[in-house]
Amino acid sequence: MSFRYGSLAPTAYLRGKMTIWNKKNLFVGEDVFIDEGARIMNTKARVIIKKKSGIAFGFTAITGGHLSIPGVFLKDITNEMKAEIDVDHEMDKDIVIEEDVWIGANVTVLHGVTVGRGSIVGAGSVIRSNIPPYAIVTGNPAKVIGFKFTPGIIVEHEEELYPEAERLPEELIESNFNKYFVSRIKEIQSFLSV
């Protein structure tokens, strides 16, 4: 809606003071809530937050990787140096937060990550890799510790909320549940007991 942003839905609510490096690369969907204290460091890549997602206090999104050059102090590395070395823009990648995601307080999301539809991210988590739809994740690095619903309920949920063309395939839902949860149950129990 606003010319300053890539896209800002009229029903999106950005609350309080936040730092956004490049507003034209921020895309915020309908009924999204972002609480104060957010730091969105999106120089060349985009941060895309799809509809009906909520983000608690202290969110950090970093779309660019860190560059180290032998013999140069980190603080002395300029954007020109980075552009010269990173010609394929491998260090700057979009962050996508899918629909109906809840992100807890003080979460950091790093470049190139997609947070799957319907996921829940625990407070203080650092997300360094993609999160499957409807997963519950926590930790640094964030790990899947469960799923919001069983596969059958996810299918029913999708049927209620999304047109057929936008629904996740049942095979993907079942595969994710088995891969990220059922096959790792002992590892998850060990992680949670620490």
Candidates 59, 188, 58; CA nearest to 136 is 188
Phi, psi of 53 (to 5 degrees): -105, 150
Dihedral sign, Cα of residue 142, residue 54, residue 152, residue 115: negative
Candidates 59, 36, 60, 55; CA nearest to 103 is 55
> What single letter denotes the amino acid at residue 4?
R
Cα(47)–Cα(65) distance, rounded to whole angstroms?
14
Candidates 163, 128, 129, 168; CA nearest to 148 is 168
- Our CA dihedral for 104, 110, 111, 113, rounded to 10 degrees, sits at -50
Cα(31)–Cα(180) distance, rounded to whole angstroms?
29
How far separated are the first and last CA of the chain, in Å rounded? 46
Does the pTM surpass 0.85? The reply is yes
Cα(137)–Cα(188) distance, rounded to whole angstroms?
11
Distance of alpha carbon 133 from its chain centroid, rounded?
11
Q: What is the mean pLDDT of residues 13-35?
A: 95
Residue 124, number of CB atoms within 10 A of its CB:
15
Which CATH number describes the domain made up of 7-193? 2.160.10.10
pLDDT in tens, 148-189: 999 999 999 999 999 999 999 999 999 999 999 999 988 888
pLDDT in tens, 105-129: 999 999 999 999 999 999 999 999 9
pLDDT in tens, 128-137: 999 999 999 9
Domains of the chain, by residue range, sit at 7-193
